[in-house]
Amino acid sequence: MASPASGTRSESDPAAGRPRVAFQGEPGAFSEEGVLSAFASPVAVALPTWRAVFEAIHSGTVDAGVVPIERSQGGSVREIYDLLFEFDEIKIEAEVSVPVHLALLALPGQTLDQIERVYSIAQALDQADAFLRARPWQVMTSYNTAGAAKAIADKSEMGAAAVASARVAPIYGLEVLAQDIQTGAANRTRFVVLAREPLPCEWLTSAMVNGPMKTTLVWAVRNVPGSLYRCLGCFAERKINLSRLESRPSRGVRWEYVFWADMDSEPDSPDCAAALAALLREAVMVRVAGVYHRAAEE
């Protein structure tokens, strides 16, 4: 069952029985789209940082959280791996792939020729780089796509625009000056659903409980020649595909690393169980960070 956070709400509360799901940013952020794609009827809770999302899950203030873990154009979100390693009681319960369509937003009545400054997070600015370089705009980073839009609206800042989702515009009373300004049509962000306890299936959308299984692992190798090679051989010898491999500093010992992998299997399958048993003999630490259904891409 879920954490007790939802049980603190009274039956007269319209949010009673609905999961409280945290995301980083402001309403309209792509992380909120991840929440709405993963959960059937969530109460989305906006928090300022990824760490705040993990802390809210840890404390039971929310039932779950949704955070980005990989961008198709920008690669891994490495801070999320570090937080998963630190908050080891929090597990990945599901994943969702969200298409990223970027738009340029500004106050009503503004035109492209009147824009002087453009705000957004660094990743969104990079994804819209070709469009932004076509004009002599000053480009500045913000903590969140929707947050950039909100700041422009709150300050009634003329001559400014934000790179964000088009769905943000009506939330903050802005207008869309340009649609689909991202480079390429296959831009997506993979989000993971995090929780301390398994989530009730009825909380999740049908897409979250279908599809092939995958497992996310983290392990630490011995600091001896060939240790990583032998660890990877545990999977290769049993023909188990690792669809992702990531290394991160252990933060416990200087210059030592832990390795994260996504395994196209579930731990209970015979080959996978044998691979994990072999890995336990070679590695100094092995932890399963989540077993869940692979996200559909369309």
Residues annotated as catalytic (active site), given as ranges: 189, 191
Rounded Cα distance between 295 and 230, Å, is: 30
For tokens 């992380």, what's the residue? 31
Residue with tokens 């794609």: 37
Helix residue spans in the chain (DSSP H): 30-38, 50-59, 78-86, 122-127, 129-132, 145-155, 168-172, 227-236, 270-282
Residue 274: closest CA among 244, 222, 239 = 239
C-alpha 120/C-alpha 25 separation (Å) is 12
The count of residues in the chain is 298
Cα 198 to Cα 213: distance, rounded to the nearest angstrom? 15
Q: Report the distance separating Cα 259 and Cα 218, nearest Å.
A: 5
